[in-house]
Structure 1
Amino acid sequence: MLKKIPIQQLRLGMHLHALEGSWLDHPFWKTKFVLREQGDLDKLIASGVQACWIDSSKGRDVEPEPAPTSANPAPAPAAKPVAPALLTQATGMSQEVKRAALVVAKSKAAVAALFNDARLGNAVDAERCLPLVDEIAGSVYRNPSAMISLARLKTHDDYSYMHSVAVCALMVSLARQLGMDDAATRDAGLAGLLHDMGKAVMPTEVLNKPGKLTDAEFRVMKAHPLRGYEMLREGGSATEGALDVCLHHHEKIDGSGYPHGLRGEQISMLAKMGAVCDVYDAITSNRPYKNGWDPAESIRKMAEWRGGHFDDTVFQAFVRSLGIYPVGSLVRMQSGRLAVVCEQNPQSLVSPKVKVFFSTRSQLHITPELLDLSSSACSDRIAARESNAQWKFTHLDELWAGPESLKLHGATA
């Protein structure tokens, strides 16, 4: 039975089901476990969290209350806990990006712990990941671009973990664009977070190889969807959607994918979504053997592959969720200036907010200036995408995210 109690009433032996307040304030990345260590109890009491939910059917109960009297009536029964992260209001990019940076940093540590547990042979408890999914989803609900764009920034060492966080955020954003309800969106986010669990048990020399895989190595890597599916199924708490996306996110519409060579309508909607989100994050991320493609260039490339690789309806919704020029894209303005896209305009995909910083006419940096291309007062417009492979600017992320957010995220400004 679920009971809400003040944090001061927690005792060793109680089964912690959920914590009130923001996930960022919690001392643990997961809940739903029996408190057995005094150190864990001390962390909770010192954390500032005011209340929590316990499951008395799985652990110690609270001490019985005195019988109610007319002067001391029984309290009303508590409501069942809900996911507060999903009950949010939209915020601007500048307002959300710092909060999203904190969520990304904590999520990265949480997924690293999850992968490490899997490597050690421990069962993957998907249900324990839900607070993490809810916090990522909450940020996406407030402003999709902040979380999605920050999660794209990775180092070689944290690629596997950050890829899971990024695909979770992309799946939530895409699910909302497709009109899914909160429960289905949460399931999509969980599926994205867990889709690559099989990589946790792949040989590290193959997983981290700084170059093209041999045919034999690729055959080894192609086993990761099935290994991940088996791990999640053995854990016993993964949803059907998470299991399906884990197993089938490398299937392609034309039947050329793996592990089962499914085609067209044989592939579920969630798996089609997982395929698009997985590829986008992979090709926009820096790897040991190649630099990631520019976000806008990646959208253009993927558009060429749709029909063979991706479901057309899902891909079109994906583009609408990100924008034609996603945050972080390098663009050339009609004025001849170069700019980085800083924020989307939901009403017009071709009129985002951009920050101009370089003149192609003088070949010199200029004082950065933020332009709202949707404003009637702005006469400049985007003329074309640009590839940073040519320009090699090193400060594009700092221009749109800000140095403070990059520091909180753990990226190098």
Structure 2
Amino acid sequence: MIKKIGIAQLRVGMYVHDFNCDWMEHPFMRNRLLISSDDEIRKVIDAGIRELYIDTDRGLDANAPTAEEVRTDIERELHRIATQQPAAPVRVSVAEEIERAAQVKNQAHQLVRNVMADARLGKAVELDQVEPVVESITASILRNPGALTGLLRIKNKDDYTFLHSVSVCTLLVAFCRSLGMSAEDTRQAGLGGLLHDTGKALVPDHILNKPGRLTDEEFDIIRRHPRDGYEILLKTPGVGPVPLDITLHHHERMDGSGYPDKLPGEAISTFAQMAAIVDVYDAITADRCYHKGMPAAEALRKMHEWSKFHFHPQQVQAFIRCVGIYPAGTLVLLESGRLAVVIEPHETNLLAPKVRAFFSTKSNTYIKPLDLDLSKPLGMGGGDRILSHESPEKWRVEPMKFFGLAA
């Protein structure tokens, strides 16, 4: 049986099933292992891990809730979050925005490549080239946030570092917009998101793209990138305090376990807290050469779980409302037995987004794509509901092929 325990309950002889953290944050070569010494327990504590899952069939038991009980509680809480506040309205459909969004994605991707290349050569970032790209991203988000965020779910493993920066910028802009922040604050946050990983330009490629877990020494090198990026941006004329702060502090955690400064929650700015949420969300949903990304809906559930210690709980809730319980591009199973890809959250009901059905699980065949507004009854473009989010690999389908088609 899988159970969730607090770190104080961890004992030698327990079998760790899941460290319950961003996979990059724990210090072990394997995600599952039998705890064989007090030194290993100390390593887990030093990594800032506060809760984890154990397999009682493979090691010692503990008085703790089961994984199923924890999941039920999280689902109940997410449903509560989803009904608290409506999503921001969209101005155009995904189909109308998708072509422009694709152009913005490509433009931003190339810009980040150039920024990284210049940083490796010791050149300052040219802010006059970065700002127009942030403006283009913001304009796309204002028209329809689901189009660009959905497209950015698709990342080539070789281009992850560059597209991750584009994703963080895009999600931060959407996050700021959903919170009603000013245009200038949103612009500054967007600049910080696009430039937050500039310091990775100084990380050797063999470490950045290593197809396996990093050694302690390699982790130390990776952890230099926030300060390296900060130092690079300090040489950039006109860069503001918000991009500098986001770059330096996007790996800080509310319980003080982050880096580079181990800041406690009250010392971390709102923008850096927001960037930390967005950064981890995008990282854990992306496929890497050494790690399979989790579905976006599942990632939000993990972010909510981790917010007990690592993130600001109210901000995580706000981010969930921003992207929706089922973010754009999510594969879902409908009560009718159809698979559908989420097109965009509904403006008043995050539990009933707009989806495009394209596959029948009953006949195991593709069907003619059909757009549904799940907030409406049968006969008015709805009449179905989501049972669960699904893994594309499970059904051997590619939902993003149907994302952004003309209705």
TM-score bin (small chain) = 0.7 to 0.9
* Number of the residue aligned with 2:164: 163
1:282-306 Cα distance to aligned partner (Å, 9 max, x none) = 1111111122211111111211111
Amino acid at match of 2:387: A
CA distance in 2, matches of 1:290, 1:346: 34
SS of 2:359's partner is strand
* Number of the residue aligned with 1:388: 392
CA distance in 2, matches of 1:352, 1:155: 27
Amino acid at match of 2:392: N
SS of 2:235's partner is helix
Amino acid at match of 2:403: W
* 8 Å CA contact retained: 1:342, 1:352: yes
* Number of the residue aligned with 2:101: 100
* 2:399 corresponds to 1:400: no
* 2:306 corresponds to 1:302: no
1:84-116 Cα distance to aligned partner (Å, 9 max, x none) = xxxxx8221111111100111111111111111
1:325-366 Cα distance to aligned partner (Å, 9 max, x none) = 001111111112221112221221111111222222333333
* Number of the residue aligned with 1:272: 273
> Gapped runs of 5+ residues in structure 2?
1-89
* 8 Å CA contact retained: 2:392, 2:399: no
1:185-205 Cα distance to aligned partner (Å, 9 max, x none) = 111111101100000111111
Give the CA deviation at 1:379: 1.6
* Number of the residue aligned with 2:253: 252
Q: What TM-score, normalized by structure 2, do the two folds share?
A: 0.74
* Number of the residue aligned with 1:215: 216
SS of 1:401's partner is coil
CA distance in 1, matches of 2:291, 2:114: 27
CA distance in 1, matches of 2:213, 2:182: 41
* 8 Å CA contact retained: 2:173, 2:189: yes
* 2:379 corresponds to 1:379: no
1:354-399 Cα distance to aligned partner (Å, 9 max, x none) = 1222222333333322211122332211111212342232x21111
Give the CA deviation at 1:127: 4.4
CA distance in 2, matches of 1:119, 1:128: 17
CA distance in 2, matches of 1:309, 1:247: 17
The residue correspondences of 1:283-302 to structure 2 (distance < 5 A) are 283-302=284-303
* Number of the residue aligned with 1:66: none
CA distance in 2, matches of 1:134, 1:198: 23
CA distance in 2, matches of 1:218, 1:391: 36
1:225-244 Cα distance to aligned partner (Å, 9 max, x none) = 01000000122322101011
* 8 Å CA contact retained: 1:249, 1:275: yes
* Number of the residue aligned with 1:204: 205
Give the CA deviation at 1:206: 0.3
1:112-171 Cα distance to aligned partner (Å, 9 max, x none) = 111111111111233431111111111011111111111221112211111111111101
Amino acid at match of 1:217: E
SS of 2:180's partner is coil
CA distance in 2, matches of 1:348, 1:317: 15
CA distance in 2, matches of 1:183, 1:111: 21
SS of 1:103's partner is helix
Amino acid at match of 2:213: K
CA distance in 1, matches of 2:281, 2:213: 19
Amino acid at match of 1:398: K
* 8 Å CA contact retained: 1:253, 1:311: yes
* 8 Å CA contact retained: 1:253, 1:307: no
* 8 Å CA contact retained: 2:253, 2:263: yes
CA distance in 2, matches of 1:195, 1:302: 20
Of 165-174 and 382-391, more deviation after overlay is shown by: 382-391
CA distance in 1, matches of 2:369, 2:298: 23
* 8 Å CA contact retained: 2:249, 2:260: yes
* Number of the residue aligned with 1:114: 115
Q: What TM-score, normalized by structure 1, do the two folds share?
A: 0.73
SS of 1:261's partner is coil
How many residue pairs match? The answer is 314
CA distance in 1, matches of 2:100, 2:208: 31
* 8 Å CA contact retained: 1:123, 1:231: yes
SS of 1:291's partner is coil
* 8 Å CA contact retained: 1:126, 1:232: no
Amino acid at match of 1:117: D
Which entry has the higher C-alpha Rg, 1 or 2? 1
Give the CA deviation at 1:261: 0.9
SS of 1:342's partner is strand
* Number of the residue aligned with 2:87: none
* 8 Å CA contact retained: 2:332, 2:390: yes
* 8 Å CA contact retained: 2:153, 2:329: no
CA distance in 1, matches of 2:149, 2:237: 29
> Gapped runs of 5+ residues in structure 1?
1-88, 405-413
CA RMSD, 1 decimal: 1.5
* 8 Å CA contact retained: 1:104, 1:147: yes
SS of 1:157's partner is helix
Amino acid at match of 1:216: E
CA distance in 1, matches of 2:370, 2:115: 42
- Specify which structure has the bigger relative contact order, considering alpha-carbon pairs within 8 angstroms and separated by 6 or more residues: 2
* Number of the residue aligned with 1:131: 132
* Number of the residue aligned with 2:233: 232
CA distance in 1, matches of 2:98, 2:259: 36
Give the fraction of aligned pairs with identical amino acids, expressed as a percent. 47
